[in-house]
Amino acid sequence: MLQDIEPYLACPHCAQPLTPDGRTLRCPAGHSHDIAKQGYVSLLAGDAHTGTGDTADMVAARSDFLAAGHYRPIADALAAAAAAADPEPDGLVADLGAGTGHYLAHVLDALPGRPGAALDISKYALRRAAKAHPRIGAVVCDAWRPLPLLDASAGLVLNVFAPRNGPEIRRVLRPGGTLLLVSPTPRHLRELVAALGLLSVDEEKQRRIDEKLGPHLTPAGRQEVEFTLRLSAEDVRTVVGMGPSAWHTDPERLAQRLGELPDPVEVTASVTVAAYRR
């Protein structure tokens, strides 16, 4: 619930702590932020907008695909890494680009008693994240701006298929805290990339991630998680619709190419789970 993470939140305008006042969060400078009836709070700066967030259709597709358990090995690997990396009995778990809260909920199950902040720019996603776990509080924010969290407030930050802001992640992590970052390898969904003309993963992606995070965090180990999915035509349509290719795919062309695939089709899922420490 939102009240679980309120002690860790910061005003997006002045970075001061926020305190609850009924259905509103207020800071000492007088800035106020109303809590939506769906359970999340928007802590976007006044000139920010949510136009880059996932749409309602994208969120629905992601929710359906993840609920079917297709990416369960990724969630299990992330939860195991979280339990190993952050054995502290308390402190915030922040998920930057949390989407529907699916992965954060899985991690919180592995870390009993820990509160979780689901941070995302999509209100459609956060409506679901706010209900994904009893200890999740959902916050609308922009990953590329100062995060609405107090300095050194999080023991663990998650980042799964999402934008990453190295300086801000370092700021909100407490000393010794860990970032767990899940990113696709070039082999991820490779059969669909070739057959459907989807966006591909750069061969140098992991190196570029390390370079951007290098000035702020220290690498602390990584593992690859790779497995085979057996997807129906509807599953394929869903996995395309939930990711970045949804912005770049022509529906008619996609339908034509889907009809040329076997049903079911075997597809490679391949990600890296990397740890970085402050």
Sign of dihedral through CA atoms 249, 75, 165, 42?
positive
Kindly state the tokens that stand for 92.
């915030």
Nearest to 162 by CA among 251, 247, 102, 96: 96
Nearest to 217 by CA among 155, 271, 182, 175: 175
Question: What is the average pLDDT score of the chain?
Answer: 89
Q: Considering only residues 128 and 198, tell me which one the structure prediction assigns the higher pLDDT.
A: 128
Checking DSSP bridges between strand 154-160 and strand 92-96, what pairing results, if any? parallel
Percent of the chain with pLDDT over 90: 66
Please tell me the distance from the alpha carbon of residue 28 to that of residue 153, in angstroms, as a whole number.
19
Residue whose token pair is 């129906």: 232
**Residues 75-97 as b or e (16 or more Cβ within 10 Å = b):** bebbbebbeebbeeeebbbbbbb
Q: What does the pLDDT look like over 59-95, one tens digit per residue?
A: 998 999 999 999 999 999 999 999 998 767 778 999 9
In this prediction, residues 209-233 reach a mean pLDDT of 93
Decide if pLDDT at 27 tops 70.
yes
**Upstream peptide bond of 17 is cis (omega within 30 degrees of 0):** no
Of 27-41, 116-130, 171-185, 245-259, where does mean pLDDT reach its minimum? 245-259
Fold of 53-277: Rossmann fold (3.40.50)
Residue 227, Cβ neighbours under 10 Å: how many? 14
In this prediction, residues 97-109 reach a mean pLDDT of 96
Please tell me the distance from the alpha carbon of residue 41 to that of residue 49, in angstroms, as a whole number.
14
Nearest to 101 by CA among 5, 194, 192, 31: 5
Q: Tell me the whole-structure pTM to 2 decimals.
A: 0.92
Decide if pLDDT at 246 tops 60.
no
The answer to whether 173 and 278 have CB atoms below 8 angstroms apart is yes
Burial of 242 from C-beta contacts in 10 A (0-12 / 13-18 / 19+): buried
Decide if pLDDT at 18 tops 80.
yes
